[in-house]
Structure formats: C-alpha cells, structure tokens
Amino acid sequence: MSDIITVVAPVNIAVIKYWGKRDEDLILPLNDSVSGTLDTNIMCAKTSVCARPEFEEDEIWLNGKKESFSSPRIRNCLKEIKARASAEKCVSDDFLKWKVHVCSENNFPTAAGLASSAAGYACLVTALAKLYKVKSNVSSIARLGSGSACRSVYGGFVRWHAGKSADGSDSVATQIVDSTHWPEMRALILVVGDTKKKTSSTIGMKISTQTSELLKHRVKYCVPQRTEDIIEAIKNKDFPKFAEITMRDSNQFHAVCLDSYPPFVYMTEVSHLIIELIHKYNDLYGTKVAYTFDAGPNACLYLLENEVPKIISLIKHVFPSSNPDSFITGLQCNEEILNSQLTSIKPHAKDLIKYVIHTKVGEGPTEVLDGSHLLNDKGFPKM
Amino acid sequence: MSDIITVVAPVNIAVIKYWGKRDEDLILPLNDSVSGTLDTNIMCAKTSVCARPEFEEDEIWLNGKKESFSSPRIRNCLKEIKARASAEKCVSDDFLKWKVHVCSENNFPTAAGLASSAAGYACLVTALAKLYKVKSNVSSIARLGSGSACRSVYGGFVRWHAGKSADGSDSVATQIVDSTHWPEMRALILVVGDTKKKTSSTIGMKISTQTSELLKHRVKYCVPQRTEDIIEAIKNKDFPKFAEITMRDSNQFHAVCLDSYPPFVYMTEVSHLIIELIHKYNDLYGTKVAYTFDAGPNACLYLLENEVPKIISLIKHVFPSSNPDSFITGLQCNEEILNSQLTSIKPHAKDLIKYVIHTKVGEGPTEVLDGSHLLNDKGFPKM
C-alpha cells in the first residue's frame, strides 16, 4: 500500500457572508457565517501528501506549478497539524521530522470568487491530518489557511461560529444538516469572469473593518438575526425564506464593500443583469431561485431540482452563448420549453456568461482510495 | 413692462445625500442633507410664467413639449403659492383666479441624475412666487415639487433640515454660507450617460425605506455626525475634510441602494473607473478632489480652482474623447502638461465620458430682466 494520502475537498458557497476579521493573524471573523457545501464530484480541490526520510525539504506544487512553502498560512497549517499529531501521539517522532511533499489542484478557475482557497486549504489540512493520523476536529486549522476553508470541512449546510475567545479556540465550524437533509437542493454557478480581482478578499476585509460604518451595524444587528432565521429555514426546508435571506445577505455584503473607503466592487454589470433576471423570475413565479455573489462577479444560484430545467433554458435564452453545447457543465439535466412570458424577455449580447456549472449540495472532504494520486512513487508530481 | 416673469434657477449637487422619505405626500426626508448650488450661468432651469384673464386653462410646456398640468406635484406647488399670496394679500382676488401659462426648459439633459427636477421646481416656484408677489420663504413649497428642489432656492452651500413636525413646516432649507464664502470651489460634471434610469428616485427611495436595514443605521448614526462635520469643514474651508465626507457619503448612499430589496444600482463600471482614478490621484497628491454620484452614473467632482487644469488634463488623458474640442464645456480653463506619474496611468477606451461641464458654486434663483422670456406676447411658447 502506498504511503501517499490523497483527498478531495469541496467548495462551499456562503448564504450568510463572512466579511471582516476580529483577528488578522488567527483569521477570526467578526460574525458567524453559513454556507452550503457543493458536491466534490463536480467541483473540488484534490491534494496528495506524503512524508519520507529522503525528502530534503518541504515542497508544494499548486495547479501544476511549484510554489514556495514559506507562505505563513501553509506553514501554519502544517505546524498546527504536527502539534496535534504530537499531542495525540499517533505517529512516531521520526515521522514528524520527515519533510513533506504536497501536490494540489483545483478543477475550476482560481481567484475568481469561486472559493478556490477554501477548498484548497480544507483539502490540504484534511490530507495532512490523515497523514499524521490526527483524530480531532481540524476545522480550526483549516481556518488558519483561509477563513472560509473551515466550512469546507463538512458536507451539507455548515455554520462557522465567530466565537469570542482571543485564541480562536471557539471559532470553529459545525454542521447544521448533512447533505441528505435537503436532497433537492441544487446550485448553478454562472461563470462571468475568471480574471484575478482588483481587491483581494484579505485587503477588502481589512478596509471594510477599518472604515465601513455599515459593517458595524451588519455585524451587530443584521447577521445574528439572519443566521438564526436561515438555520431555521434550512432545517424546515423553507425555500422562499432561505432564498430571500440569501439574496439580502449577498446584497448587504456588496453594499458594505461600497460603503468602505476607498470603496471597491466585485460585481460587474453582468452580475447586476443576473440579479435583475432572478427578481423578474421570482416576481412571476414566487421565490424559486436565490442568487449570491462572493468576492467576484460570478453568481451562484441556489434552487430546487424541479426548477432547474426552466432556469437553465431561461439562462440560455437571456444569456446566449457562442458554444451552446459546452455551455452547461456538471450534472445532467433536461431543458424545458419556455412560455411566452419568459421568451419575451429580451436576450443580452452573446457570451456575457462564459459557462454554467450545474451542481448540488454534497459531502465534506473524502479520501481518494483508487490510487489516483497526484504524486508518483518517488513522491514528485506525476505531471 | 411685460406681465411675464422669467426666472433662472440652479442645479444643486448634494454632498450629504437625501435618500428616503418619512412622509411620501409632503416629501419629508428621513435625514438632513447638504448641497452646493451650481452657477446658473453654466447649468440652469429657466421658467417663464404669466397669468391672464383670457387664458382658458392652466398650461405648461417643458423642454419644448406640452405636458399635463394635472400632475399632483405641479398642481400642489401652484396651490400653495396661491394660498400664500392670498394670506399675504399682495395681489387681487381676481388675479388669483386667472389661469397661468408656464414654459420651462433646462439647458442640460433631464432624468440622468443631473438634478434637473430640483432646478426645475425651484425655478417654477420662484417664478410663481414673483408673479403672485409672495414675500415669505418658498423653499418648503419647492420641496413639494421635488424634495431636493428646496435646496436650489439658495446659493452657496445649503442645508435641508429633515424637521420633525408632521405637517412639514420645519422641513426647510437654510443657507450655510453664500457663494462668495469659498470662491475657489469648482465643480466638474462628468457626463457618462444621459439615458433614463431604470429605477426612479421616487421608487428607489421607497424600496430603500421599506427594506434597507443599513438605511436605518445611516439615518440614525452616520448622517447626523457627517452633517455637523461637513458644515464645519465648509465654514473653515477645510477641503480635505469636506472631500472625504463627500466621497464617503456618496458611497454610503449607493451602498444603501444595493442593500435594498430588490437591489438597484445607479453607478456603472465607468462610474467606478472615475472613483478609482480620483482615489489614485488623491493617494499621490493628498485629498485634492472629491467625487459624488446622485441617482445616475454621472460624476460630480468638487475641487479647488488651482487643481482644475491638472484634473482636466488627467481626465482627457485617461478618458479620451473622439471630440476633444467640444469635450470640456462651461467655464474656461487652462490645461497643464502632466508629469510622468500621471501619464503612466493607462487610458481607457474612447468616449466612456461623453463630455465634461466645468462650473462653480454660484447663486440662487434670479429673475431675468433682459426680456428673454420663453413666452411670447400672447403668453404662448416662443418656439
């Protein structure tokens, strides 16, 4: 049996947004957040790790490129996992001294607001935990890599508790419901752009925390109530309530970005056209679809399975593509012939949406046991 | 002497924004606001009015087109002016019974976020007040036409007090300083679009008042402090402080629009490019320019006279025009050769800004005494 551990970990898309830190170094958030974890069969990070006596240094390859292992966030994750392993005494002291090789890749564009770092760090930390046989909960270690990574450690719907303690020990994720609770829940990722954003989340959060008066109000009054309400909506499978809170919270997060000084924006005019379309649809049929936008222009739509055919047909109609055959990726689905109310909506210019990923709420990180490691027998990247 | 009264009235551009009403019918705002009044020599509404026994009905022509006089806002203004005239007993009862003819035009595009209705109603109400010889303050009557019109009744910098009384009697404008107080103050209107907006101010304010949690916080905590601070900055001619509050308040107003449900946006990507450029400039030279955006994509830049040549040259460099000769309108000004720090800023595509209006803070409504009425001797539009 190989000594290489390989794990896949999911992306998560927040419905109550994380924006602003109470501690920069420990990555402790100002407020609780809630997310859905998306199926790793469609979008995932995949990471292989191994530790051997002959490795001369810790090395990491990300998306086919050798990167520096000296990034404090990566080092921190490794250090904390080793500290846990040492405390739990599950591996030998020698094994802990060996250098590690890490190879990781995402099957979707990075740094475009698609939560790539969340999946990446959840994957890294889960793989290292398995390598060093750590048994305890590692969500707080994933958090040290990228705040929202702690939510990708569980499947279903997940809450990240802001916590109160200065050392961050209570800033952990917990599962609200697992992926079987609301099996009809689907997500459509509408990829608008995959260029690197102007203001990174880290910088943006810092500016907002320092300058936005509205953020203070959001943290103190809006988020606590919304968090309770959306958890209740998820537990009761109350889609209209879930959807309205999701949309309002996405809008408020982007409002806070604009209230920051200097202001910054993540949504583009295409993002706003998507918002407009969803409100038009919901006005006609009741609240059947929710949009949410992270720190980028791409939309994530949450909707139930039976709405998918109509929404996909509508998106194809309103946002025509030059490559209709490869426009929808991910889960299979039928389309539906649109009624005249919907076909009367005027299509926009071609290719405003590049492609659509059709996926669903899924499980947390899982070990890959079929031998498809990213490292070869010598412990170096296969490609 | 003619019995026709002709008045020109200014546009005003708010630095503390009015957004949200506490009373829809009386147009009473949720919060105080502050604005600069802009020179009528450059941008103005012009209105001629007259009343004669032979007129068969009240008639109005706006920008060359006959419009209905049955609009409740126009009717309300006329009714209130007549009530005042009657109370002040300055004209005969017969004169009050005669029908009126009104002809009005703006010398700039309407309904594009350029405060056209403010100038228009300030002009109408001032002209009617002169026609009926009303002596008392008419800002509260202008307010009944279009909220911010009450600020266009004075020159210089003006505060509109939200007031507390249910009948609106204390919701009036007062002058903070007249137009001679800060004679170096200039304004550049960057006209990005002149198409009609998707969400009117009236509808937008209603949605925000009903749905935005951030608006509540803004009204209660942010605006009262900012209003005091910016009035102090204006009185002390403290430009950096004035500019920072102006920019933050514009950003917060647009943040509230985004926090509304459904959300709406007035700024476009070009608006955001302008914001980015001004922050870049201020980062280099200190806070020398302030941007502010009303319910539309056009920017208004406030800056001091000595900064104008460099900023105009910079705008011409970064936002190149196909018609450079007619790109800058309004007040004359020299340009300046840009240093390499500024020329190294990469120009955008052509014609993102259509044209620029260069103007300054100026006086309130004034009667036109040169006979250039918009109504002919018979009391009908000349054109």
Which residues on adjacent β-strands are paired with residue A190?
A299, A356
Read off the pLDDT band of A111 (50, 70, 90).
very low
Taking the C-alpha atoms of residue A353 and residue A188, their distance in angstroms, rounded to an integer, is: 12
Decide if A226 touches B, using CB distance below 8 A. Answer: no
A76: in domain: yes
B376 within a domain of the structure (yes/no):
no
The CA distance from B350 to the nearest CA of chain A, in Å, is: 19
Q: What is the gyration radius of the CA atoms in chain B, in angstroms?
A: 21
The answer to whether residues B201 and B350 belong to one domain is: yes
Residue A181 CB neighbours (<10 A): 15
Query: Which residue blocks in chain B are alpha helix, DSSP H?
Result: 72-88, 93-97, 116-131, 139-145, 201-211, 213-217, 223-235, 239-259, 269-285, 308-318, 340-343
Helices A72-88 and A116-131 pack at an angle, to 10 degrees, of 30
Note the pLDDT of residue B111. Answer: 44
Question: Chain B partners of A262 at a C-beta cutoff of 8 Å?
Answer: 275, 279
Burial of A241 (0-12, 13-18, 19+ CB in 10 A): middle
Residue A234 structural domain: 185-360
Q: Name the closest residue on chain A to residue B263, using Cα atoms.
A: A251
Touching check for B265 and chain A: CB below 8 Å?
Answer: yes
Mean pLDDT value across residues A205-221: 97
- Domain assignment present for residue B60? The answer is yes
First-residue to last-residue Cα distance in chain B: 22
- Residues of chain A contacting B221 with CB distance shorter than 8 Å: 213, 217
Total domains, chain B: 2
Measured between CB atoms, does A279 come within 8 Å of chain B?
yes
Q: Do A255 and B214 touch (CB under 8 A)?
A: yes
Write out chain A residues lying below 8 Å of B214, CB-based. 214, 217-218, 252, 255, 259
Q: CA torsion, points B108, B114, B116, B117, in degrees to nearest 10?
A: 170
Per-residue H/E/C for B86-142: HHHCCCCHHHHHCEEEEEEEECCCCCCCCCHHHHHHHHHHHHHHHHCCCCCCCHHHH
Token digits for B155? Answer: 């020159």
Greater pLDDT, A251 or B198 = A251
A137 & A237 share domain:
no
User: Are B158 and B223 part of one and the same domain?
Assistant: no
As given in the structure block, the two tokens for residue A301 are 């739509």
B170 in A contact zone (CB under 8 Å): no
Question: How big is the CA angle at B213 (ends B207 and B219), to the nearest 5 degrees?
Answer: 90
Q: What residues of B are in contact with residue A248 (Cβ under 8 Å)?
A: 261
Q: Is the pLDDT of residue A11 over 80?
A: yes
Query: A180: buried, middle or exposed (CB in 10 Å: 19+, 13-18, 0-12)?
Result: exposed
Mean pLDDT score of chain A, rounded to an integer? 94
- Minimal-distance CA residue of chain B relative to A246: B261
B250 CB-near residues (< 8 Å, 6+ apart):
B17, B291, B292, B293
Reported as a pLDDT band with limits 50, 70 and 90, residue A109 is: low
Residue A27 has pLDDT above 80, yes or no: yes
| Interchain contact, A255 vs B251, CB within 8 Å | no
**Share above pLDDT 90 across residues of chain A, in percent, rounded to a whole number:** 90
The answer to whether the CB atoms of A269 and B268 lie below 8 A apart is yes
Domain boundary at B181, B207, B230, which? B181
Residues A257 and A127 in one domain: no
Is B273's Cβ below 8 Å from some Cβ in A?
Answer: no
B379 inside domain: no
Interface check A207 vs B, CB under 8 A:
no
Q: Are residues B163 and B190 in the same domain?
A: no
Lowest mean pLDDT among A56-65, A192-201, B172-181: A192-201
Residues A237 and A307 in one domain: yes
Summarize pLDDT for A71-108 with one digit per residue, the tens.
899 999 999 999 999 999 889 999 999 999 999 999 87
Average pLDDT over residues B140-150: 94
Length, in residues, of chain B = 383
Phi/psi of residue B131, each to 5°?
-60, -45
State how far residue A181 is from chain B, nearest Cα, in angstroms: 29
Sign of CA dihedral B158, B161, B162, B168: negative
Q: Do residue B251 and residue A244 have CB atoms under 8 angstroms apart?
A: no
Q: Is the pLDDT of residue A194 over 80?
A: no
Tokens 């916590």 -> residue: A163
Tally A–B CB contacts below 8 A: 67
Q: Are A187 and A359 in contact (CB under 8 A)?
A: yes
Give the integer Cα–Cα distance in Å for A241 and A246.
Answer: 8
B195: pLDDT strictly greater than 70: no
Nearest CB among B214, B247, B272 relative to A214 is that of: B214
Q: Is residue B372 part of a domain?
A: no
Report how far residue B330's alpha carbon sits from residue B355's, in angstroms, rounded to the nearest whole number. 11
Contact (Cβ atoms closer than 8 angstroms) between residue A268 and residue A283:
no
Place of tokens 């228009």: B120
Contact B315, B308 (CB under 8 A): no
**What confidence tier does B297 reach under pLDDT thresholds 50, 70, 90?**
very high
Cβ separation of B213 and A252 shorter than 8 Å? yes
User: Looking up tokens 């830049």, which residue turns up?
Assistant: B301
Q: Could you tell me if B214 and B329 lie in one domain?
A: yes
Short-list A231, A229, A208, CA closest to A219? A208
Query: Which pLDDT score is estimated for A299?
Result: 96
Chain A CB contacts of B279 below 8 Å: 262
**C-alpha distances in Å from residue A276, one per residue of A75, A291, A334:** 44, 10, 24
Cα(A252)–Cα(B1) distance, rounded to whole angstroms? Answer: 60
Tell me whether residue A44 is in a domain.
yes
CATH of the domain at A336: 3.30.70.890
Asked if A248 and B268 come within 8 Å (Cβ–Cβ), the reply is: no
Burial B324-337 (b: 16+ CB within 10 A, else e): eeebbebbebeeee
Among B192, B256, B258, B346, the strongest candidate for a mutation testing the A interface, having the largest count of A CBs within 10 A, is B258
Which chain A positions have a beta carbon within 8 Å of B257's beta carbon? 255
| Four-CA torsion A211, A215, A219, A221, nearest 10 degrees | 130
Residue A366: inside a domain, yes or no? no
Q: Best mutation site among B192, B211, B215, B265 for testing chain A: the one with the most A CBs within 10 Å?
A: B265
What local confidence, expressed as pLDDT, does residue B2 receive? 85
Question: B-chain residues within 8 Å CB-CB of A260?
Answer: 251
> What's the average model confidence in pLDDT over A233-245?
98
A372 in any annotated domain: no
Distance CA B265, CA B21 (A): 19
Task: Assess A111–B contact: CB distance below 8 Å, yes or no.
Answer: no
B244 and B286 Cβ atoms separated by less than 8 Å: no
Clarify whether residues B133 and B48 are in a common domain. yes
Query: Do residues B229 and B349 both lie within one domain?
Result: yes
ipTM score: 0.91
Q: Do A255 and B259 touch (CB under 8 A)?
A: yes
C-alpha B204/C-alpha B225 separation (Å) is: 24
Same domain, B123 and B269: no
Helices (H), chain A: 72-88, 93-97, 116-131, 139-145, 201-211, 213-217, 223-235, 239-259, 269-285, 308-318, 340-343
A228 at B interface, C-beta within 8 A? no
For the range B105-108, what are the long-range contacts, defined as Cβ-Cβ under 8 Å and sequence gap of 24 or more?
Answer: B105/B45, B105/B46, B105/B62, B105/B63, B105/B64, B105/B374, B106/B43, B106/B44, B106/B45, B106/B46, B106/B63, B107/B43, B107/B44, B107/B46, B108/B11, B108/B43, B108/B357
B272 neighbourhood in chain A, CB within 8 Å:
265
The CATH number for B21's domain is: 3.30.230.10
Confidence band (pLDDT; 50, 70, 90) for B1?
low
Sequence-distant (≥ 6) Cβ neighbours of residue B273 within 8 angstroms: B319, B348, B352
Cα gap B158→B179, rounded to integer Å = 10
CB-CB contact of A49 with A9 (8 Å): no
Scan for tokens 């055919």, then name that residue: A309
Domain boundary among B181, B202, B232: B181
Greatest C-alpha distance within chain A:
70
Give the distance from residue B352's alpha carbon to the nearest chain A alpha carbon, in angstroms: 15
- Confidence (pLDDT) at A335: 86
Give the mutation candidate from B195, B219, B223, B259 for the A interface (greatest A CB count, under 10 A): B259
Residues A260 and A212: beta-carbon distance below 8 Å:
yes
Q: What are phi and psi of A359, to 5 degrees?
A: -145, -175
Element containing residue B23 per DSSP (H, E): strand B21-23
CA distance B212 to B258: 9
Question: Are B148 and B270 in a shared domain?
Answer: no
Query: What's the pLDDT tens digit per position in A289-348?
Result: 999 999 999 999 999 999 999 999 999 999 999 999 999 999 998 889 999 999 999 999
Euclidean distance between CA atoms A57 and A67, whole angstroms: 13
In angstroms, the separation between the Cα of residue A351 and the nearest Cα of chain B is 18
Chain B residues lying within 8 Å of A259, measured CB to CB: 214, 251-252, 255
> A156, A179, A202: which is the final residue of a domain?
A179
A198 and A171 in a single domain? The answer is no
Whether residue A287 lies within 8 A of chain B, CB to CB, comes out as: no
- State phi, psi for A143 to the nearest 5 degrees: -55, -35
Tell me the mean pLDDT in the region B226-245.
Answer: 98
